Amino acid sequence: AQSVTQLDSQVPVFEEAPVELRCNYSSSVSVYLFWYVQYPNQGLQLLLKYLSGSTLVKGINGFEAEFNKSQTSFHLRKPSVHISDTAEYFCAAGGSQGNLIFGKGTKLSVKP
């Protein structure tokens, strides 16, 4: 079955600390991989995407992610977080029909 697993439902971190949000995907999904951010009562905003090429992908707001085929992972990282990064983050993979399959989300809480 096609699935995306986000290993942490909540990640608390202090401001200016590094953060990693973990994502694993099943081998049955495509290797089109995405990270989206969602602020309360808003839609999803694309942070970054991996379609092909370099396995290290840089996105907006200082985020980056690394595609690891052998570990079927696509973890999201930021070296120094800000209060404004507090939001919910969703990992997604391309399904067989061109749709997206989402993980359950990770709530990032940045504390002062």
- Interface positions with another protein (CB under 8 A): 4, 30, 32, 34, 36, 41-46, 49, 51-52, 90, 92, 94-95, 97-100, 102-105
The smaller minimum CB distance to another protein, of residues 72 and 102, is found at 102
Query: Quick one: DSSP state of residue 69?
Result: T
Instruction: Quickly tell me which residue has 């002062």 as its tokens.
Output: 112
In whole angstroms, how close is the CB of 16 to another protein at the nearest point?
28
Closest distance between another protein and the C-beta of residue 13, in Å? 20
Nearer to another protein, 71 or 96 (CB): 96
Instruction: Enumerate long-range contacts of 95-103, CB under 8 Å, 24 or more apart.
Output: 95/2, 95/29, 95/30, 96/2, 96/30, 100/34, 101/2, 101/3, 101/4, 101/29, 102/4, 103/4, 103/5, 103/6, 103/23
Task: Tell the smallest beta-carbon distance from residue 82 to another protein (Å).
Answer: 23
CB nearer to another protein: give 42 or 84: 42
State in angstroms the smallest separation of the CB of 79 from another protein: 26
